[in-house]
Amino acid sequence: MDDLIKLVKTYRFTAGVTERIPLAEKIFTRIEPDLRLFVFSSVAHQNAQDVLQEVLKAVATSLKQFQGGTEKEFWAWCYRIARNKLSDHFRKQATDRIQTVPPEDLWQMMDLSAQDAPISTATRHDLEYAMKLLTASKPECYDFLWNHFVFGRDYGDIAEERGMSYDNVRMKIGRCLEEAQSLVKNTALVA
């Protein structure tokens, strides 16, 4: 499989639209599922498809302006665009935010992944713990934890889009984690 960042760099230096389109197809075949997941885990499904289309258009038409040099920078750039489109959508429909994913849906995805990479008992135990933390988190924490731990976005990117300081985001995620850990611990004690 082609290196994603190589494709993006090649795209940047390609002038003709007929040469650009096949490269863009390769790039979007790789990134669309992650962008879809990002959008569909944030917006109610009846509107998510429209928002996703806006995200894809925005990424496609800005692709030549991407200045970074690493895959991590490219993903951060894509997620920034996606987050801006989500914010546009929420300005119009503030109540359209999605709720947490139920644990059984998360397990379903883990079982699907196990078809390609089997899960050992120890890993299964670790995954269960991670999923418990995510699903135990309070609604206002859910988005922070998913952005940071599932989409791999760093504190700086989350801070920028939310108009918060880096340290505030770091502390917020820490507190969310602490609360989730405490909830999971209490649930385990009760059980």
Partner 1 sequence: MAELSPKEQLAFHEFSVRYRAAYAKKHPCPPQSLEVVREALWGEYEKEQEANRGPKIETPKIEPPTPAAGREPNEPDQDR
Q: Does 184 bind partner 1 (CB under 8 A)?
A: no
Q: Does 177 bind partner 1 (CB under 8 A)?
A: yes
Q: Does 17 bind partner 1 (CB under 8 A)?
A: yes
Return the number of the residue (94 or 112) whose C-beta is nearest partner 1. Answer: 112
Per-residue contact flags (x/-) with partner 1 for residues 58 to 87, judged by CB under 8 A:
--xx--------------------------
Options 9, 12, 36, 80; binder of partner 1; rule CB under 8 A:
36
Query: What's the gap between Cα 150 and its chain centre?
Result: 6
Stretch that binds partner 1, among 49-57, 66-74, 81-89, 183-191 (CB under 8 A): 49-57
Nearest to 154 by CA among 163, 144, 142: 144
Question: In whole angstroms, how far apart are CA 92 and each of 53, 85, 98, 105, 155?
Answer: 17, 11, 15, 29, 27
Return the number of the residue (130 or 164) whose C-beta is nearest partner 1. Answer: 130
Q: Does 175 bind partner 1 (CB under 8 A)?
A: yes
Q: Does 32 bind partner 1 (CB under 8 A)?
A: yes
Return the number of the residue (95 or 99) whose C-beta is nearest partner 1. Answer: 99
Per-residue contact flags (x/-) with partner 1 for residues 89 to 128, judged by CB under 8 A:
-----------------x--xx-xxxxxx-x---x--xx-
Distance (Å, whole) CA 70 – CA 183: 38
Report yes or no: 41 and 101 within 8 Å, Cβ to Cβ.
yes
Q: Site residues (CB under 8 A) for partner 1?
A: 17, 20-21, 24-25, 28-30, 32-34, 36-37, 52-53, 56-57, 60-61, 106, 109-110, 112-117, 119, 123, 126-127, 129-131, 134, 149-152, 171, 174-175, 177-178, 181
